[in-house]
Amino acid sequence: MPPPGYSFHGVGDFDVGEAGLGVANFSIKFARTETCMQLREQGYLKLRYPRENMLGVRFEPWHIKVKDIKL
């Protein structure tokens, strides 16, 4: 997890999960769910903390980065 005070939730990032998965939504198990796979296939999934990210933050498949919107 990022250190305190460095969350991107304040700029629009959000966490997503699958109903019925409970706390496992915040583990590697979420990456193998139907919800995660569908988000990935539809192009909605942009991870803030992918595997081996430059920030050194653990892999968080549930933490979604808000994509840049071009107007």
DSSP notation for 14-61: EE---TT-GGGGGSGGGGGSHHHHHHHHTT---BSS-TT-TT-PPP-T
What is the per-residue pLDDT across 20-58, written as a single tens digit (0 to 9) for each?
Answer: 999 999 998 998 999 888 887 877 667 778 888 888 888
What's residue 44's pLDDT? Answer: 67
The pLDDT of residue 24 is: 93
Does residue 2 register a pLDDT over 70?
A: no
Whether residue 59 contacts residue 67, with contact meaning beta carbons closer than 8 Å, is answered with: no
Give the single-character DSSP code of 8.
Answer: S
Residue with tokens 């990210």: 53
pLDDT of residue 50: 80
